[in-house]
Structure 1
Amino acid sequence: MTTAESRRSAADTTGPVVRTTAGAVRGRREDGLAVFRGIPFAQPPVGEGRFAAPRPPHAWEGTREAYAFGPPPPQEAGIQGRTAGPAAPLGDDWLTVNVWTPDADPAARRPVMVWIYGGAYKLGHSGSPGYDAQHIARDGDLVVVTFNYRVGMEGFALIEGAPANRGLLDQVAALEWVRDNITAFGGDPGQVTVFGESAGAGSVAALLAMPRAAGLFRRAIAQSVPGTYFSEELARDLAGALAAEVGLRATVADLSTTDPRRLTAAGQGLGRKMHQYQDRWGKAAPTVTPFSPVVDGEVLPATPWRALADGVARDVELVAGHNREEFQLFLVLGGLLGKISDEQVTAALRLFVPGPDGERAYRAAYPDAAADELYERVHSDWLFRMPTVHLLDAQVAGGGRAYGYELTWPAPGSKGVLGACHGLDIPLVFRTFTADLGSLLFAGVEPSPEAEALSSRFRASWTAFARTGDPGWPEYDSERRLVQILAADPVVTGYPEEESRRLWEGHEFTALPLLM
């Protein structure tokens, strides 16, 4: 054994020990924090538990080592930062939590932030290096929790004989674990803030609307909320198509003994050809993901916009915002920059923009926009920007408090063509500039003092909100619509995408329907 290995071995036996409801866990001390990884919050969802709601974890004897992240749930490959990666652990104990805490002292009662990853509801895991929460916990002097939830077929396909929205039910189970255990890690279960990006933000919005999640968190941060929630009819049709990819029916009886990797491949295969079924699946077809939360009337009784406008989350304080050029990331990754035709712009405007005169109105509002720019704008508006601002409006209409923001600082990597694109907020919040998606968005450049300052501002605002309910700028309302612009020189101003907002005024984001 080397000297370094000997030191680590000694540290392993003297690390902090915390007793959870299922048993004791031992973590490690890392740069002033106590860190615990891979703690089960539910039983492995395999065997009889396959496609079932999460079940409480089995208790264990002795002290369990909480040194390594749990294995990611089955998932397909994706863009940088959203795959399990070759070094990810193997196994079926997918449902685990991780905790970063300044001090595992039950008397500390620090605020708690719980991160929900994104990934189009079909990929992602909490062990991704881009979600290393040490800087948030250390800079904010609070407790941070991350966790895995089922994605893709395992978590979101509407399967006969299985509950809908199993991925959301996993999230509720993780939050219940936080409620029951976080005091022992130095956290305050009455001061929990959930935060997430993209599908993670869509999950946050869904949790705000879910009766089963009521009371499990006090505050919420939704970064780039996607507008895609499925009707039961659409979700059932998509699940049938997914199962047909492997010659089966979308039932628990058919799928529960099928290797998850076959189902992952089925999801990936269907995603590649969804655009061929636009006449059947409508706006869901171009998203290349057959998964989203299902408005099933039980787990998720209504869309988040309808639920919030009805006041179901008026007691939860909300921060919601988006990035200025959300869809630019997908144009760059798809090799589409400079290749968008006016015919493609016309098709996008006619598909996504509300109202019979939507195409003309968009072209009139942005008369000087090139094809690429108008194509990016309409996709960003319908998929992320308008759903986000409408969520703010719904929260205010329902009597709740809300704060809005827009990130306008451009990503420095890829020769500067990415702009303030989708996902840029992740490496800024976590200060993980060289990990996962950050390695693309900051490719070939050292993080500048400007990037470091903006990253610090993100964390200061997010942790202040978790601690006090105030991120440091004025509340959003339906008259002034003040939002925080996150840039090199941050300012508070009226909502900067007002031209688009007016074009979408009065539009209701409903569950996406099955068209035929």
Structure 2
Amino acid sequence: MQVETIGADAAPAVTITSGRIRGVRLAQIDRYWGVPYAAAPVGANRFAAPQPVAAHEGERDCRQMGATPPQLPYAGGMENYLSTVTVPGDEILNVNIWAPAATPAELPVSDATASAATAFEAATSDAAHPVIVWIHGGSLSRGSNAITAYDGTAFARDGVVFIGVNYRLGAEGFSVLDDADTNLGLADQVAALQWVRHNAAAFGGDPANVTVMGESAGAICIAALLAHPDASALFDRAIMQSGPPDSRPRKKSRLITDLMAKDLQIPANRAAFSAMSATRLLEAQKRVTAGTTPITGGPAYTLTLDSNLVPRNPGTALAAGAGRGIPLLIGTNTEEYRLWFIPTGLMQKVGWLHILVAMLKFRISPRTVSRYRRNRPGCSVGELFGALATDLLLRVPVNRLADARFAQPDGATTHVYEFAWRSPVADLGACHALELGFVFDTLASDDAQGMAGPTAPQQLATDMHDAWVRFAKTGDPGWPTWNSYRPVRVWDGTANPLAHSPREDERASWR
């Protein structure tokens, strides 16, 4: 059966494992939004592992954005640069799909138990497109696939089936309760990737060529998935933007859960948390996380070491060779810290005491601090602290991971980038998340313009977006793979040079 369309720019329909769905075709791109990949996590499914989505009767309308996970809007100045989209509803475990309109035959699915092998067989045509699965960031507590900067139109335009995933956030997805599974939001992502293997062919995608792509908390999740022994069953390539491999032991990662339980005067177990409405949990989360940032710290959600999804610290596992057979594109932004320091006024509040505390806590040598200060003549104490924090938390771990993968025999390629173009908006500079509007080629969106301004260089977006598409198609974004010379593509918006071992004196000063 072929994909059905009704006139030009009308409504395509396909059959997936749960039944028939109808989308919309605009400018030769098919869009299917709010498609459930797992059952709604409510009632008996709340604080439980994701359950299969039930088959539906008739045809499901998938022309509108699906429900978004419960979350708090950004505040304290951050709301000026990072948006929150709220779509009510229980079916928050959904995907948004953008696909080239010229799709091959509809996936022949007879029931909801179709196997991945069926999808693979249906995608043997040379016309099958590579697939990118997007895992958004937001500190594991914010974000959704409905944010305009994450529109997948440009990827579909360039021959990629693009799939954005919603997953449980905050208390619903990353609580550490006495009698419930941990990392439920990560389990949702696994369920979504399994759904993609089964259903990508229905949208013209190649289920044997899936790239998982994430930024910030999304990249942290991808690191955990890449480190898992079953990673190759879920995806074939990975892109990690501004997110290091990280997790915490159960005792440490449950701090925010314990604080919320104390605030709500309930035990930290599944029954008590399930008895709380999403609104009450969010109110408690707001109270106990006041003042927390990824740079300065504080109570926050993290991935938890467990026996299932995160059996080892991802950084340790990856360094030991986990995921070495999967090509990786990874990088950071030059001034990540400015996203948290500029909107909140922290730039002026950070003093030498903060640097001293960081030196003691993270064993940063005086020699390292002196080198960073010497390399930035005239910098403020806040800028010095931010540069140290950016490299400690992001750039140095990325270099170490790339080095470890290069040292693995018969390992897959690693390509490293640095985003260095500086936004003229409010002195944000080359801050965290700024690269997203360029990677997605969505500079015209309100989200992207809020951070990059109305005059951001389109050519830089074209070049970066093309590199990401090339990586999804071939595994080669267009510059040399990581080697002993440490090649880094520096996206500065002018020459976009290839730099070997940039700022090596600073990197080498870390223990």
TM-score after normalising by structure 2 = 0.88
- After TM superposition, the runs of 4+ consecutive aligned structure 1 residues lying more than 6 A away are 10-13
| 1:43 to 2:39 alignment | yes
Query: Quick one: which amino acid aligns to residue 153 of structure 2?
Result: Q
Corresponding residue to 1:323 among 312, 316, 333:
333
Q: Secondary structure at the match of 1:100?
A: strand
Question: Structure 2 CA distance, aligned partners of 1:274 and 1:222?
Answer: 23
Corresponding residue to 1:146 among 151, 155, 164:
164
| 1:119 to 2:138 alignment | yes
Question: Structure 1 CA distance, aligned partners of 2:266 and 2:444?
Answer: 42
Alpha-carbon spacing, 1:298–1:497, altered in 2? closer, same or farther (3 Å): farther
Deviation larger for 428-437 or 405-414: 428-437
Query: Quick one: which amino acid aligns to residue 297 of structure 1?
Result: S
Q: Secondary structure at the match of 1:71?
A: coil
Deviation larger for 229-238 or 340-349: 340-349
Deviations 1:241-273 (A, max 9, x none): 122121112110111121011111222211116
Deviations 1:445-489 (A, max 9, x none): 333xxx101101111100101111101000112x21111111221
Which residue of structure 2 aligns with residue 59 of structure 1?
Answer: 55
Which residue of structure 2 aligns with residue 461 of structure 1?
Answer: 467
Which residue of structure 2 aligns with residue 483 of structure 1?
Answer: 488
Corresponding residue to 2:423 among 408, 411, 426:
411
Alpha-carbon spacing, 1:306–1:74, altered in 2? closer, same or farther (3 Å): same
Give the conservation status (yes or no) of the 8 Å contact 1:306–1:394. Answer: no
Deviation at 1:342, TM superposition (A): 2.4
Deviation at 1:212, TM superposition (A): 4.6
Give the conservation status (yes or no) of the 8 Å contact 2:129–2:204. Answer: yes
Question: Structure 1 CA distance, aligned partners of 2:62 and 2:311?
Answer: 37
Which residue of structure 1 aligns with residue 112 of structure 2?
Answer: none
Task: Give the 5 Å matches for 1:66-77.
Answer: 66-77=62-73
Query: Quick one: which amino acid aligns to residue 70 of structure 1?
Result: G
Query: Quick one: which amino acid aligns to residue 424 of structure 1?
Result: L
Which residue of structure 2 aligns with residue 400 of structure 1?
Answer: 412
Deviation at 1:360, TM superposition (A): 4.0
Question: Structure 2 CA distance, aligned partners of 1:436 and 1:229?
Answer: 33
Query: Quick one: which amino acid aligns to residue 366 of structure 1?
Result: R
Which residue of structure 2 aligns with residue 471 of structure 1?
Answer: 477
Deviation at 1:82, TM superposition (A): 4.7
Task: Give the 5 Å matches for 1:381-392.
Answer: 381-392=391-402
Question: Structure 1 CA distance, aligned partners of 2:260 and 2:103?
Answer: 45
Task: Give the 5 Å matches for 1:7-46.
Answer: 15-46=11-42
Which residue of structure 1 aligns with residue 109 of structure 2?
Answer: none
Question: Structure 2 CA distance, aligned partners of 1:494 and 1:377?
Answer: 20
Deviation larger for 224-233 or 315-324: 224-233
TM-score after normalising by structure 1 = 0.87
Which residue of structure 1 aligns with residue 308 of structure 2?
Answer: 298
Alpha-carbon spacing, 1:412–1:492, altered in 2? closer, same or farther (3 Å): same
Deviation at 1:93, TM superposition (A): 0.6
Alpha-carbon spacing, 1:397–1:163, altered in 2? closer, same or farther (3 Å): farther
Deviation larger for 146-155 or 363-372: 363-372
Which residue of structure 1 aligns with residue 104 of structure 2?
Answer: 105
Deviation at 1:409, TM superposition (A): 1.0
Deviation at 1:340, TM superposition (A): 3.2
Q: Secondary structure at the match of 2:131?
A: strand
| 1:341 to 2:351 alignment | yes
Alpha-carbon spacing, 1:132–1:56, altered in 2? closer, same or farther (3 Å): same
Alpha-carbon spacing, 1:438–1:13, altered in 2? closer, same or farther (3 Å): closer
Q: Secondary structure at the match of 1:36?
A: strand
Q: Secondary structure at the match of 2:88?
A: coil
Task: Give the 5 Å matches for 1:171-210.
Answer: 171-210=189-228
5+ residue gaps, structure 2: 1-5, 106-124
Corresponding residue to 1:430 among 425, 440, 450:
440
Query: Quick one: which amino acid aligns to residue 452 of structure 1?
Result: Q
Deviation larger for 154-163 or 45-54: 154-163
Alpha-carbon spacing, 1:285–1:361, altered in 2? closer, same or farther (3 Å): closer
Question: Structure 1 CA distance, aligned partners of 2:295 and 2:269?
Answer: 23
Query: Quick one: which amino acid aligns to residue 366 of structure 2?
Result: E
Question: Structure 2 CA distance, aligned partners of 1:305 and 1:228?
Answer: 6
Deviation at 1:225, TM superposition (A): 1.3
Deviation at 1:374, TM superposition (A): 0.9
Deviation at 1:339, TM superposition (A): 4.2
Corresponding residue to 1:309 among 315, 319, 343:
319
Which residue of structure 1 aligns with residue 232 of structure 2?
Answer: 214
Which residue of structure 1 aligns with residue 373 of structure 2?
Answer: 366
Query: Quick one: which amino acid aligns to residue 138 of structure 2?
Result: G
5+ residue gaps, structure 1: 1-9, 276-283, 506-516
Q: Secondary structure at the match of 1:190?
A: strand
Give the conservation status (yes or no) of the 8 Å contact 1:120–1:289. Answer: no
Query: Quick one: which amino acid aligns to residue 260 of structure 1?
Result: A
Deviation at 1:394, TM superposition (A): 2.9
Question: What is the percentage of aligned positions where both structures have the same residue?
Answer: 36
Query: Quick one: which amino acid aligns to residue 39 of structure 2?
Result: Q
Query: Quick one: which amino acid aligns to residue 145 of structure 2?
Result: S
Give the conservation status (yes or no) of the 8 Å contact 1:44–1:93. Answer: yes
Alpha-carbon spacing, 1:437–1:337, altered in 2? closer, same or farther (3 Å): farther
Corresponding residue to 1:446 among 433, 436, 455:
455
Deviations 1:302-347 (A, max 9, x none): 1222111222211100010001011012110111334432223323
